[in-house]
Structure 1
C-alpha cells in the first residue's frame, strides 16, 4: 500500500486588504502606487506649507474636472482597441455639449444626458463611416470632424437659440432646467464632520488622507458616480468577455480575426460609435458644471483625454490615473497660484526618481536629462513665489506634455491601430 504525500500551504490566509498589499500582480502594484502618491503629496504639502495640495476642496474639484477627460479617454479606448484612431474626440465632445444644452433646457438633466450621448454617437458614427467603410485616413477624418463639429454647433445655435423666448444666443443655450441628484457616502460624510476635523489639524499623512477621502465622498453627483463605475465596467467588458476579446482582436490583427469569423466591420462600427457616445457624455458633464451650453466649452479636453489614453497605455486603469493627474493640475491652478509652485517640488522628486531608475538600467542619456530637468524644477520651487496668471492657466497642458514625455518609453498601442483594413487585402 503506497502512501501519497501531499504538500499543503501553511501560510496564513489573507483577507481582501492583505491581498491588496501583500498579494501579487497588478492590484498590489496599483495599491502601493496610490499609497506612495498620497505619502509624497503629504510630504510636499508639509515642506511647502501649501494646504491646498491635499485639501478636500481641491480633491473635489479635481474629481469634477477629471471626469470629462476620463470619459473622452474611455471613448478613445474603445475606438483604438478596435483599430481606429480617434483624433475627433474633441469634436464629439463639442457635439455632446450642444446636444445636452438643447435637450436640457427643454426637458431637464435626464434629457440632457440622452441628448449628449446621441449627438456624440452621431459624431462617432460619421467617423466610422469615413474610416471603416470608405477607408479615409483616420487622422484626416478625426481632424475633419473637429472642424465640422465647431461649424455644426454654431449653425444649430443660430437656428434654435437666436431670439429664443427661453434665452440663449448665438454662442450659448438657455439654462438647463433641474439639477442632477448628488449624495454623500454614508459614515464617511454624514453625521459629525470627523474627516473635516482631521483635515484641519494639518497632521502629516493623517490630515491629507482625511482631505482626500472627504473630497471624494462629499456631494458626489450621479453622473460622476456613473463615470467612475464605467472604468471597471470597461475593463470587465473588454478583457473579461468574449465580446471584448473579439473587439480587441480587430485592433491587433483584423485579418486573423476575420478568418475566424469575427465580424470585423460591425465591431469597428460599434466601437467607434460607442467612442463618440462616451466623448459626448464628457460634454454633458461640462454642461452640467456650467448649467448651460457655451461655445468652445470643451477647451481642448478631448485632446487631453487622448493624451490620458496614451499615458495609460491604452488600459482603463492607466487612463483613469492620467485623467486624475490632469484634473488635479487643473483644480490646483484654479485654487491657488502659489500652490502651483509646489508642483515644482513634486515634479523634482518624481524626476529624480526617474533619473535613478534610468541610471540603474544604464540609460545614461535619459538619466542625465531627467536629472537636469529635476534640478531646474527644484530651482523653480526655491526661487519662485507665485507664477504669472498666464503660466498658471497653462499648468494642465504643461503637465500633459511632461507626463507624455515620461510615459513614452513603455507604450504598447494595438498593433493594427490606425491601419485601414480591407477584407482580402492582408
Structure 2
C-alpha cells in the first residue's frame, strides 16, 4: 500500500474540513460561515496568535519553554505604539521586534545562564511586562497629547492596504464565484476573496515567516543546531555545537516573533492600548501544542481560533455560533470513527458521545447567552485540541535545565 506523505495528509484534512464547513453552511443557511468578510477577519485575528505560536515553536525546539510569550507580546505592542508614534508603521515594526526581543533576552538570561525554572521565569515576565508598560506609558505619553495617555499611545498612522488584482479587484473573479451560491464553489470563492483582499505588506511579512520558519528549522544548519539543543544538548555539545548560544539566539528570536504578534494588533487598532493582547500569547502557546511543534500545525490551530472568533464577531445572531456546534460535532464524529478503526475504543466512545452532544445542542437550542457566545472560540479550540492530544511529541529536552558537562 502506498504511504501517504505528511503534506498529502495535511492537504486531505484541509479539504475534508472545508467540505464539512461548506455542508454546514448549506444545512444551516448561515452564509457568514464562509463569507469573504469572515475570512478577512479570520486572517486579522489569527496572525497575532500565529506569530506568538511561532515564537514558542522556535524557543521550545531549542529546549526552552516560553510561557512568557504573553509578556513579550505586551512589550511588542508598547514598542509598536512608541515606534509608530514617531516613525509610522515601519517604526512600529522595529519597535515591536525590539520590545519582544528584549523580553526574550531576559527569559534567556534567567533560564539559560542562571538556570531558573522555565515556567517561573515565563510567569514573572508576564507579570513584569504588564506593570512595565503602564509605567512607560505614564512616563512617555502625556495625558491628552495627540490622543495619548497613561493607557494608550497616540495614533501611529494606518498601513496601506491592497487587494490582489483580478482575483479580488477589477474583474473580481473570486467575488463573482462567491455570489454564485453553488455549494463548495461559492464557499471557496468567499474564503479566497477574504484572504486576498484588504492585505498589508506587514500581513504578508507575517505570513511569509511561517514557511520561512519551516525552512530554517528543517533545511538549514542553524535549524539543525536549534533542534539538537532541544532534543539532546549533551550530544550536540559533544559535536561542537555551542548550546548556550543556540538557546540564547532561539529565545531572543522567539521574543521578536511574539513582538510581531503585538504589531499585528497595534496596526489593526491604529495605536497601542493597555490590555489589548487579551491573553493571545497563551492561545498561541496552545496553538503551538495543537500543531505538534510544527509550523503547519500551529498555522492551522491559529486559523481555527481566528475563524471561530471571526464568526462570533460578524454573526448578527447566535444562530451562526450554534452552527459551529454542528461543525464541531462532525469533526469529533469523524475523529471518533477513525479512532474506532484504529481500535482506540475508549477514546472513540468519548469523542462520539461529545459529537452527539454537540449535534444535539445545535438541533435543540435556539439561543445562546452572550457569555457563552464570547467563550465560543475557546471552546471550539479546546474541543479540536482534545482530538489532537494523542499524537503530541514535544522535543525530548524541552524545559530541562542544561549545564555544560552534566549528563541528563
The reply to whether TM is greater than 0.5 is: yes
Partners in 1 of 2:210 and 2:299 — Cα distance? 7
Number of aligned positions between the proteins: 404
Maintained 8 Å contact 2:328/2:383: no
The answer as to 2:367 corresponding to 1:386 is yes
Q: Match of 1:108, SS? A: helix
The answer as to 2:42 corresponding to 1:40 is no
The answer as to 2:402 corresponding to 1:421 is yes
- Find 1:109's aligned residue among 89, 105, 111: 89
Partners in 2 of 1:193 and 1:232 — Cα distance? 28
Superposition TM-score, scaled by structure 2 size: 0.97
Partners in 2 of 1:25 and 1:359 — Cα distance? 22
Partners in 1 of 2:192 and 2:166 — Cα distance? 12
- Find 1:168's aligned residue among 134, 141, 148: 148
The answer as to 2:211 corresponding to 1:211 is no
Superposed CA offset, 1:139-186 (max 9, x none)? 000000000000000110111113363231111111113x22322223
Maintained 8 Å contact 1:247/1:268: yes
Partners in 1 of 2:60 and 2:397 — Cα distance? 9
The answer as to 2:216 corresponding to 1:246 is no
Partners in 2 of 1:235 and 1:189 — Cα distance? 29
Q: Match of 1:192, SS? A: coil
Superposed CA offset, 1:42-70 (max 9, x none)? 10000011000000000010011000000
Partners in 1 of 2:145 and 2:220 — Cα distance? 50
Query: Match for residue 296 of structure 2?
Result: 317
Maintained 8 Å contact 2:166/2:172: no
Superposition TM-score, scaled by structure 1 size: 0.93
Partners in 1 of 2:190 and 2:3 — Cα distance? 28
Query: Match for residue 397 of structure 1?
Result: 378
The alpha carbon displacement at 1:338 in A equals 1.9
Partners in 1 of 2:41 and 2:282 — Cα distance? 20
Q: 1:374 to 1:23 in 2, by over 3 A?
A: closer
Query: Match for residue 7 of structure 1?
Result: none
The answer as to 2:1 corresponding to 1:29 is no
Maintained 8 Å contact 1:348/1:375: yes
Partners in 1 of 2:347 and 2:265 — Cα distance? 38
Question: 5+ unaligned residues in a row in structure 1: which ranges?
Answer: 1-21
Partners in 2 of 1:164 and 1:107 — Cα distance? 20
Q: Match of 2:146, SS? A: coil
Partners in 2 of 1:332 and 1:391 — Cα distance? 14
Partners in 2 of 1:279 and 1:225 — Cα distance? 16
Query: Match for residue 359 of structure 1?
Result: 340
> Which is further off, 332-341 or 77-86?
332-341
Partners in 1 of 2:223 and 2:193 — Cα distance? 35
Partners in 2 of 1:131 and 1:309 — Cα distance? 20
Query: Match for residue 16 of structure 1?
Result: none
The alpha carbon displacement at 1:351 in A equals 1.0
The alpha carbon displacement at 1:359 in A equals 1.4
Partners in 2 of 1:244 and 1:106 — Cα distance? 36
After the TM superposition, which segments of 4 or more aligned residues of structure 1 sit over 6 Å from their partners?
none
Kindly name which structure, 1 or 2, has the bigger radius of gyration based on alpha carbons. 1
Maintained 8 Å contact 1:161/1:167: no
Partners in 2 of 1:165 and 1:59 — Cα distance? 36
- Give the alignment of 1:69-148 within 5 angstroms: 69-148=49-128
Maintained 8 Å contact 1:60/1:216: yes
Query: Match for residue 180 of structure 2?
Result: 201
Partners in 2 of 1:377 and 1:294 — Cα distance? 37
The answer as to 2:307 corresponding to 1:328 is yes
